[in-house]
């Protein structure tokens, strides 16, 4: 697997290895937008057009930030928001994506990803993310022009977390999602998603047939990604995209406001493994959970 393919499995391109019908389904918008706006946090808007990412303002202060993602494309999408590693530039990032390699670039696991929400075509959504001082880039492994973002030092040390109380805390690690063991209420909720692992992780949420077991889900994902279907595999091609976040680095958290209908869902991570290059889902990072 070359470098372009590995990067294509990250962030806003994470669902591309799945059936195209994923992109035709809608994403449930965050219902807590008003509450997030009332936090008084610095605000940042990322706009995705048919050709590029745009960021406004281009400079912001370090700390917790209310991120609004506006998707003007005709398909669901997101963005990877990444602190540029030392010695790298937007140009070298684009070169890395375009150049084949036997392994992912080392900086992929050494820099910071802040995460962003998934957004349906023609709509917008919000999340609260943590940005540190430095030069950032907003990009996708797809052929879209990235945008730069300068984050300056704040006068005072930012608070450990914004004034938010999460209804559910989901932890990502190698190679599992923790916090989804019990049924999730079908109501407006605020999720805190944290990466406690040693590698970046991401989370996509999609609906699956009722009664799907963890074993069936894993078997079906493996069958789909390897092209070796089995008799017990479920059809994931019609799996509706519901929510999630793009790449998130170790010790990073973000807050997502969600409103999930009653049903059965699957959480999946497609970030490439540092040692093997395989998507984390192939190492067992997928989880079935229910909303009741």
Q: What is the pLDDT of residues 14-30, one digit of tens each?
A: 333 333 222 223 333 33
> What's the pLDDT band for 159 if we cut at 50, 70, 90?
low
Question: 9-13, 93-97, 223-227: which has the minimum mean pLDDT?
Answer: 9-13
Which pLDDT does position 47 carry in this prediction?
96
Which pLDDT does position 156 carry in this prediction?
61
As a whole number of angstroms, the distance between CA 265 and CA 212 comes to: 9
Which pLDDT does position 187 carry in this prediction?
83
Which pLDDT does position 35 carry in this prediction?
66
Widest distance between CA atoms in the chain: 60
Q: Are 151 and 62 a contacting pair, CB within 8 Å?
A: yes
| Average pLDDT in the chain | 82
Stated as kind and residue range, the H or E segment containing 223 is helix 214-226
Nearest to 135 by CA among 90, 92, 93, 97: 90
Q: Match 């490439």 to its residue by tokens.
A: 272
DSSP one-letter string for 81-145: EEEPPTT--HHHHHHHHHS--SS--GGGGTS-BB--B-B-TT-EEEEEEEE-SEEEEEE-SSS-B
> In the chain, what are the helix, strand and coil shares in percent, each to the nearest 5?
15, 35, 45
Across 34-38, 98-102, 119-123, 274-278, which has the greatest mean pLDDT? 274-278
Q: What is the pLDDT of residues 57-86, one digit of tens each?
A: 999 999 999 999 999 988 878 899 999 998
Mean pLDDT of 46-55: 94
Where are the domains positioned within the chain? 3-291
Which pLDDT does position 217 carry in this prediction?
92
Torsion (CA) 172, 273, 268, 148 in degrees, nearest 10: 80
| pLDDT greater at residue 99 or residue 252 | 252
> What's the pLDDT band for 157 if we cut at 50, 70, 90?
low
- pLDDT over 70 at 103, yes or no: no
DSSP one-letter string for 263-286: EEEEEE--PBPTTT--BGGGGT-E
DSSP for residue 8: H
Q: What is the pLDDT of residues 197-240, one digit of tens each?
A: 999 999 988 889 988 999 999 988 888 888 777 777 787 766 76
CA-CA distances (angstroms) from residue 178 to 27, 109, 124, 241, 246? 22, 21, 28, 20, 17
- pLDDT over 50 at 10, yes or no: no
Which pLDDT does position 281 carry in this prediction?
94
As a whole number of angstroms, the distance between CA 284 and CA 279 comes to: 9
User: Phi then psi for 218, rounded to 5 degrees?
Assistant: -65, -40
Q: Can you give the pTM of this predicted structure? A: 0.84
């Amino acid at each position: 697997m070359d470098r372009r393919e590995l990067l294509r499995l990250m962030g806003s391109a994470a669902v591309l290895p799945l059936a195209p019908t994923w992109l035709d389904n809608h994403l449930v918008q965050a219902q807590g937008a008003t509450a997030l706006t009332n936090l008084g946090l610095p605000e940042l808007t990322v706009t995705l057009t048919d050709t590029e990412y745009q960021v406004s303002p281009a400079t912001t202060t370090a700390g917790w930030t209310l991120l609004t993602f506006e998707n003007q494309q005709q398909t669901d999408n997101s963005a990877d928001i990444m602190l540029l590693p030392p010695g790298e530039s937007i140009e070298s990032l684009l070169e890395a994506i375009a150049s084949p390699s036997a392994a992912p670039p080392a900086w992929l696991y050494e820099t910071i990803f802040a995460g962003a929400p998934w957004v349906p075509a023609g709509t917008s959504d919000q999340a609260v993310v943590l940005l540190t001082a430095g030069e950032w880039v907003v990009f996708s492994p797809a052929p879209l022009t990235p945008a730069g973002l300068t984050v300056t030092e704040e006068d005072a040390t930012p608070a450990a977390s914004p004034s938010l109380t999460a209804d559910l805390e989901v932890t990502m690690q190698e190679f599992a999602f923790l916090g989804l063991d019990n049924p999730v209420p079908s109501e407006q909720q605020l999720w805190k998603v944290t990466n406690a692992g040693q590698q970046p992780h991401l989370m996509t949420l999609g609906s699956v047939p009722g009664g799907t077991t963890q074993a069936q889900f894993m078997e079906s994902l493996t069958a789909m990604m390897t092209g070796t279907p089995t008799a017990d595999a479920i059809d994931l091609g019609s799996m509706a995209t519901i929510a999630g976040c793009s790449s998130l680095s170790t010790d990073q958290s973000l807050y997502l406001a969600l409103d999930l209908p009653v049903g059965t869902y699957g959480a999946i991570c497609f970030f490439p493994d540092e040692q093997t290059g395989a998507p984390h889902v192939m190492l067992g990072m997928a989880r079935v959970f229910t909303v009741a």
